[in-house]
């Protein structure tokens, strides 16, 4: 069976310079690839990704307009 979103991303609002956490839940464990548009995000000081079982989370630090 394909992996589906059990709980999809929700829109979040935050101020420039702040941090935001985005999370989703899948129907079964599978690797998650985070993107902004066509750009695949890589773990760095700005982007922190973690995954536990079927839940994946992305934290974006020091938000900028281009992170929308």
pTM of the model: 0.83
State yes or no: pLDDT of 9 exceeds 90: no
Residue 41: pLDDT band (50, 70, 90) is very high
Give the span between the Cα atoms of 30 and 37, in whole angstroms.
21
Q: What pLDDT score does 37 carry?
A: 87
Query: Which residues in the chain belong to E strands, given as ranges?
Result: 5-7, 20-26, 35-36, 39-40, 47-52, 55-60
Give the span between the Cα atoms of 30 and 16, in whole angstroms.
32
Class of domain 5-60: mainly beta
State yes or no: pLDDT of 44 exceeds 90: yes
Residue 21: pLDDT band (50, 70, 90) is very high
Q: What pLDDT score does 8 carry?
A: 78
């Amino acid at each position: 069976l394909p992996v589906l979103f059990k709980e999809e991303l929700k829109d979040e609002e935050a101020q420039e310079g702040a941090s935001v956490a985005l999370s989703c839940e899948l129907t079964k464990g599978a690797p998650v690839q985070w993107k902004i548009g066509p750009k695949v995000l890589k773990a760095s000081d700005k982007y922190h990704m973690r995954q536990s079982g079927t839940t994946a989370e992305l934290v974006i630090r020091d938000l900028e307009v281009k992170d929308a």
